[in-house]
Amino acid sequence: MEGKTIQSIQRAIDIMNCFNENVHELSLKEISEKVGLSKSTAHGIVSTLLKNSYLEQNEKNSNYSLGPAFIEKSFIVNEDVLIKNIGHKYLVKISEEFSVTVNLFLFKREHLKLIDRVQSDSMYYTISTSITKIPLNASASGKLALAYSKDVNIDKIFSKNLLYKYTNSTIIDRETLIEEIYKIREDGYSLERSEVELGIYCISVPIFKVNNVFVGTASIMATREKLMNILPKLAPKMVAMSKKISFELGAREE
């Protein structure tokens, strides 16, 4: 036996169901016509959904689209699947353009979880990592965590003596590491220059979700010669990718 349907809640659901993979934005007039409500009634429900972030409004044309609340709730269901589904197409594009392997990592409790890897078909050799406990002061992704995560910071790694010198290039000086963090925030990406393994360079960009929470990284590992050769064109493409993935995850530039 079906239970009683509450009309106002059903109308709100009907409005949210107006949006799908083919319909991303609608005007108030279009919404009211789709659900068969007057503009004034539709406006009241839309305003409530907007206030609670289930809808958001385009400042340029005043149209409505699904809001960041859906992204936030979806993380409860399966965070890594969501990030992988959103990020995969961007990884493919970078991989094909620069003939590199691109890794997508989820960051939790100072660990990186590999959730996607895209390898170019034109590559003969590949370089990859199997370590998930990241060196915060040495790896490109680790330095991103220091720059953006609320769970780790420079004070913590120095007070707990969590710094390790892997090569002569590993940063273990506090002031130098602080300067590196400032540069990362300014550039929007992090570089690893033979700091964990000799001859291995890496570029990594941050991934953010709702409320601009740092949730992971996208990175490329290669030989020094290859990475430095493509870096001038690769770096801005990586930063752009970072912003696109983060935007789709509900992050907004401040």
Distance of CA 97 to the CA centre of its chain: 20
Distance of CA 37 to the CA centre of its chain: 37
CA distance linking residue 239 with residue 70, whole number of Å = 25
Residues 191 and 99 in one domain: yes
Most confident of 18-32, 122-136, 235-249: 235-249
Q: Which residue has the tokens 């979700």?
A: 209
**pLDDT tens figures, 214-230:** 999 999 999 999 999 99
pLDDT band, residue 2 (cuts 50/70/90)? low
Please list, in sequence order, all residues whose beta carbon lies within 8 angstroms of the beta carbon of residue 219, skipping any fewer than 6 positions away.
Answer: 102, 103, 105, 140, 141, 202, 203, 204, 205
- Model pLDDT, residue 74: 63
253 assigned to some structural domain: no
Residues 24 and 128 in one domain: no
Query: Of 36, 66, 96, which residue is a domain's last?
Result: 66
**pLDDT tens figures, 63-89:** 999 988 877 676 655 778 889 999 999
Question: Which DSSP symbol is given to 210?
Answer: G
pLDDT higher at 180 or 125: 180
Question: Which DSSP symbol is given to 160?
Answer: T
- Model pLDDT, residue 12: 95
CA distance linking residue 209 with residue 69, whole number of Å = 11
Average pLDDT over residues 132-153: 87
1 pLDDT exceeds 60? no
180 assigned to some structural domain: yes
**pLDDT tens figures, 41-52:** 999 999 999 999
Residues 138 and 55 in one domain: no
Name residue 17's amino acid: N
Q: How many structural domains comprise the chain?
A: 2
Residue span of the structural domain in which 49 resides? 7-66
Q: Determine contact, residues 215/107, Cβ cutoff 8 Å.
A: yes
Residues 58 and 79 in one domain: no
81 assigned to some structural domain: yes
Mean pLDDT over the full length of the chain: 89
pLDDT band, residue 131 (cuts 50/70/90)? low
Residues 27 and 136 in one domain: no
Residues 233 and 109 in one domain: yes
- Model pLDDT, residue 77: 59
CATH number of the domain residue 112 falls in? 3.30.450.40
User: Nearest Cα to 114, choosing from 99, 124, 128?
Assistant: 128
172 assigned to some structural domain: yes
156 assigned to some structural domain: yes
CA distance linking residue 168 with residue 197, whole number of Å = 10
- Model pLDDT, residue 38: 95
2 assigned to some structural domain: no
155 pLDDT exceeds 60? yes
Q: How many residues in the chain? A: 254
- Model pLDDT, residue 202: 96
Residues 121 and 205 in one domain: yes
Residues 123 and 212 in one domain: yes
CA distance linking residue 246 with residue 107, whole number of Å = 14
Residues 108 and 47 in one domain: no
Average pLDDT over residues 192-210: 95
254 assigned to some structural domain: no
Query: Of 16, 34, 66, which residue is a domain's last?
Result: 66
Residues 109 and 180 in one domain: yes
CA distance linking residue 212 with residue 253, whole number of Å = 8
Residues 104 and 42 in one domain: no
CATH number of the domain residue 37 falls in? 1.10.10.10
Q: Determine contact, residues 218/204, Cβ cutoff 8 Å.
A: yes
165 assigned to some structural domain: yes
Sheet with 213-223, strands from edge to edge, namely 111-119, 101-108, 213-223, 200-209, 190-193
Question: Which DSSP symbol is given to 117?
Answer: E
Tell me the pTM.
Answer: 0.71
Residues 129 and 238 in one domain: yes
